[in-house]
Structure 1
Amino acid sequence: MMELVNIVATVEMEKPFDLEELLVKLPNVEKAHFWVKAKIPPYNKYTAFYGSGKFLVTGAKSEDELNEVANNVVDYIQKYGIDNTIKNININNRVYMDQLDFEVDLEKLIVELTDYDASYEPEQFPGMNFKDKYDLTYLLFGSGKITITGVKSLEHFEEHVAEFKDLIREKSDI
Structure 2
Amino acid sequence: MLQVKPVITIQNVVASASVGQKIDLDLLVKIFPDVEYNPDQFPGLVFRLESPMTATLIFRTGKMVCTGAKSEEESIKAVRNVVQNLRNGGIRIDNDATITIQNIVASVDLGSRVHLEEAARILPRSMYEPEQFPGLIYRMPDPKTVSLIFASGKVVCTGAKKESEVRRSVYTLHALLEEKNLMD
TM-score (norm 2): 0.76
Measure the CA separation in 2 of the matches of 1:51 and 1:80. 17
After superposition, the C-alpha distances for 1:21-75 in whole angstroms (9 at most, x for unaligned) are: 4456543322267731224243675421223321111111123322332133223
Q: Shift in Å at residue 163 of structure 1?
A: 2.0
Letter in 2 for 1:112: I
Residue 109, structure 1, aligned to residue 158, structure 2: no
Question: Are 1:52 and 2:61 counterparts?
Answer: yes
1:66 maps to which residue?
Answer: 75
| Corresponding residue of 2:9 | 3
Tell me, in whole angstroms, the C-alpha distance in 1 between the residues paired with 2:40 and 2:125.
35
Q: Does 1:151 align with 2:150?
A: no
Q: 2:3 maps to what in 1?
A: none
Q: Are 1:31 and 2:76 matched, yes or no?
A: no
- Matching residue within 103, 114, 127 for 1:93: 103
Distance 1:54 1:112 in 2: 43
Amino acid at match of 1:48: L
Render the CA deviation track for 1:118-165: whole Å, top value 9, x for unaligned.
Answer: 112223322211111121111111110111111113556534332211
One-letter code aligned to 1:40: R
Give the letter aligned to residue 125 of structure 1. F
Amino-acid identity (%): 29
The size of the alignment, in residue pairs, is 172
Distance 1:74 1:87, change over 3 A: closer
Structure 2 unpaired stretches of 5+: 1-6
Aligned to 1:129: 137
Which structure shows the bigger proportion of residues in strand conformation?
1
SS of the residue corresponding to residue 47 of structure 1 reads: strand
With over 3 angstroms needed to count, the CA separation of the structure-2 counterparts of 1:92 and 1:24, relative to structure 1, is same
The CA distance in 1 between the partners of 2:136 and 2:40, in whole Å, is 33
Query: Aligned partners of 1:89, 1:147: CA distance in 2, in Å?
Result: 25
TM-score, normalization by structure 1: 0.80
Structure 1 residues 80 and 173: alpha-carbon distance in aligned structure 2, compared to 1, 3 A threshold:
closer
- Looking at structure 2, the residues matched to 5 and 14 of structure 1 have their Cα atoms a distance apart, in angstroms, of 29
RMSD: 2.7
